[in-house]
């Protein structure tokens, strides 16, 4: 299955993580609606997710992308060290736990679908990940973003502790 990715005019990369079909049973049969989970990132330390629902797939994806774009405006930038992260971190959301471990050059992004989309949209090229607990794509995306936002560089930690490097 080819991963659906799209680079837009404004320089943001958009990735469809998951599309789900929901059925409501009505008098005439079943009525279907669709949910879309989309990750949008600038490949320079910022990414956000969006969730959209509609009766057709394309409007659901559009709504999710618009939601992600709005959410990204409020999102702080992630602290990166080159093409990886500065230190090991665990992101948690619900019963999903995502362990993010920095990796050397040439390693690549070793991650599952939801986590991979977030990391590539942020601009990380070398990282190791492990998922514990629930593998619900929405929770994995939220846990990954939550973990990335907890990252701190050496300089930030030194400033918080009042120490000079």
Q: For all residues of the chain together, what is the average pLDDT?
A: 91
- Tens of pLDDT, residue by residue over 65-78, are 999 999 999 988 88
Helix (H) or strand (E) holding 137: helix 137-149
In a domain, 83, yes or no: no
Same domain, 16 and 54: yes
pLDDT score, position 3: 56
Name the residue range of residue 144's domain: 89-161
- Of 29, 46, 73, which residue is a domain's last? 73
- Tens of pLDDT, residue by residue over 29-65, are 999 999 999 999 998 889 999 999 999 999 999 999 9
Closest CA to 22 of 36, 12, 9, 10: 36
The CATH number that applies at residue 155 is 3.30.230.10
In a domain, 45, yes or no: yes
CA pair distance 137, 86, nearest whole angstrom: 25
Q: Band of the pLDDT at 7, cuts 50, 70, 90?
A: low
- Is 97 a residue whose pLDDT tops 70? yes
Overall pTM > 0.85 = yes
Task: List 19's β-bridge partners, or say none.
Answer: 36
- Of 73, 103, 126, which residue is a domain's last? 73
The CATH number that applies at residue 9 is 3.30.160.20
């Amino acid at each position: 299955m080819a991963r659906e990715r799209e680079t837009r005019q404004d320089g943001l990369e958009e990735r469809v993580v998951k599309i789900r079909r929901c059925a409501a049973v009505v008098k005439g049969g079943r009525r279907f609606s669709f949910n879309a989970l989309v990750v949008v990132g600038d490949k320079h330390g910022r990414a956000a997710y969006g969730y959209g629902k509609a009766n057709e797939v394309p409007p659901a994806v559009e709504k999710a992308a618009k939601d992600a774009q709005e959410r990204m405006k409020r999102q702080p930038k992630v602290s990166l060290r080159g093409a990886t992260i500065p230190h090991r971190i665990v992101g948690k959301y619900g019963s999903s736990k995502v362990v993010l471990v920095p990796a050397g050059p040439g390693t690549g992004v070793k991650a599952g679908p939801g986590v991979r989309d977030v990391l590539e949209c942020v601009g990380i090229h070398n990282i190791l990940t492990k998922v514990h607990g629930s593998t619900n794509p929405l929770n994995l995306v939220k846990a990954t973003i939550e973990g990335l936002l907890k990252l701190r560089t050496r300089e930030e930690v030194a400033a918080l502790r009042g120490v000079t490097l």
